[in-house]
Amino acid sequence: MDNAQLLKGVLEGCVLAIIAQGETYGYEIIGALEQAGFEDIGEGTLYPVLTRLDKNKLIQCRKAKSPLGPVRKYYTVTSEGAECLADFKFRYRQIAASAATILFADEKEDYHES
Amino acid sequence: MNLELMKQQLTGEYREAFSAVWVYGTMKNIAADLLEERLTELYDSLYTAQIEKKDVRRIIGSSTERFCKNFYEDYTFADRLRQLPALLYRWAWVVLVMVLLPLSGRSERGTTQNILPILFAIGVGLVFELVCRFVFLPLMCRSRKIKSGTWSNIAFISLIVMFAATIVFQASLSVKLEVPALPLAIGAGAYIAVFFAVRSYLRYKEFGTIRDVRKQMRKDSYYKEISDQQLEQTVLKTWQKQYTKFSSKGKATPDSYIGMLKKNEKANDIANTAIDLFMAACFISIVVDKVQDYQGVADLLVYLAFMGTLMFFFWRFISGAFRRGSAIRKNLIRECETAGQTMPDFITERLAVNS
């Protein structure tokens, strides 16, 4: 199964969660995702996600000069974004628990047998 | 231009990645403002990675093609349609200029206008987009490494060839598509006015002013600084190359080189004055031509105001670039004289400081 398809579903929520921690920018978000273990972020997937979140008014951005000089887009979460994140967390937990029940059922049985 | 300056600030793999994504976006005909917005963000990440000496693959991954596809994946047909009013706005200007100026296709009595050249030009634009999208882009992606420079040159040459072929073909045609000139001009003018009003309203609603805030932000930001510094760097490198060449042929010494540069500047000043005089002569000839074809005061004033504005912006564009370069060169010569150094020493020292 394509990793990108799996990633797409959760990436938006994760990016939203990173931005919710405080004002941040593209390069920093890539770093945070990498640190968390997401490997395929350097494939251009982040930028459309940021645009989508911005279009849906879940985040807002301001442009300012970065310490290195060029203009940088700094992102923050809007109130709608915060609500959406809370909802995403709730739904994700439910889906992850349901999926785990099916996906790791044999591992559980093995564990009980041993 | 801003994107070009961004590219200049990147080196090696970072620059190649930036160019590849840029060429890909251009060939996909992504709207210019959106392309600039996206690439500015990418530039920030690439530039930061370059400064921090992080691998470029951290930003674009292992496949540039996959990156490009993902990077522009949310640019849909609806986004493309949203660009249509702006595209029509540009074409409305072309139509207006063609009708107001006897450029081509005006009937002798001036009451009708042949719009076939405009339709041909639009057709060439569409065909070029299709060729880029369905021929160049797949070929570019299929090659082992995306060579952005080669592909942008191929696309540019193709466009020139297509336009040249169309002009030759159209000149051989005896068919004309005549439409009344006045309604055409009024239609184009009305569209421009409506577009301008709606754009002003939307800008006011979003930014609280009718001015292009994004343009101002770019001006206020880093680009101007990059631009001047970049220009200075380019001038110094050109001088260094020129001095090496001249000195190897025995045409220049460290002491005499500054004199040669001063002489060049005098020649440039003469060229600048010649441009000013040429533009003034053009304007005077237009005025004389129109006065001979006098059709009332209102017609004369509107025509001269239109032509004057058009020529002023053209003059400012041509002359501005010359003057800016000249100011930077003169400033460098002055600084060198004040420092009491020979020009080659000054160039070497300045390049080291700038880098």
Domain-located, residue A54: yes
List the domain range (segments joined by +) for residue A82.
3-88
This prediction's pTM = 0.61
**Lowest-pLDDT choice from A7-16, B119-128, B132-141:** B132-141
Domain-located, residue A60: yes
Domain-located, residue A75: yes
Domain-located, residue A106: no
Q: pLDDT of B295-327, one tens digit each?
A: 777 777 877 887 788 788 778 777 776 777 788
Domain-located, residue A113: no
CA A90/CA A88 separation, integer angstroms: 5
**Total structural domains within chain A:** 1
With b meaning 16 or more CB within 10 Å and e meaning fewer, what string describes B29-44? bbbeebbbebbbbbbb
Model ipTM value: 0.80
Residue B342 CB-density burial (10 A; 0-12 exposed, 13-18 middle, 19+ buried): middle
Task: For residue A68, give how far its alpha carbon lies from the nearest alpha carbon of chain B (Å).
Answer: 8
Q: pLDDT of B245-279, one tens digit each?
A: 888 888 888 888 988 998 888 888 888 888 888 88
Q: Are A29 and A15 in contact (CB under 8 A)?
A: yes
CB-based contact (8 Å) between A47 and chain B? yes
CA B331/CA B336 separation, integer angstroms: 9
CA B55/CA B46 separation, integer angstroms: 9
Query: How far are the Cα atoms of A20, A41, A60, A94 from residue A81, in angstroms, in the given order?
Result: 8, 22, 9, 20
Domain-located, residue A105: no
CB-based contact (8 Å) between B44 and chain A? yes
Strand partners for A64: A72
Which candidate from B57, B59, B222 shows the least CB-CB separation from A65?
Answer: B222
CA B76/CA B83 separation, integer angstroms: 11
**Residue A51: CATH number of its domain:** 1.10.10.10
* CB neighbours of residue B195 within 10 Å: 16
Q: pLDDT of A65-100, one tens digit each?
A: 777 667 788 999 999 999 999 999 999 999 889 988
Query: How far are the Cα atoms of B92, B121, B215, B320 from residue B127, in angstroms, in the given order?
Result: 20, 10, 31, 35
Domain-located, residue A82: yes
Domain-located, residue A69: yes
The phi and psi torsions of B112 (rounded to 5 degrees) equal -125, 160
Cβ within 8 Å, pair A70-B44: yes
CA B82/CA B269 separation, integer angstroms: 46
B contacts of A51 (beta carbons < 8 Å): 38, 74
Query: How far are the Cα atoms of B70, B101, B119 from residue B178, in angstroms, in the given order?
Result: 46, 16, 12
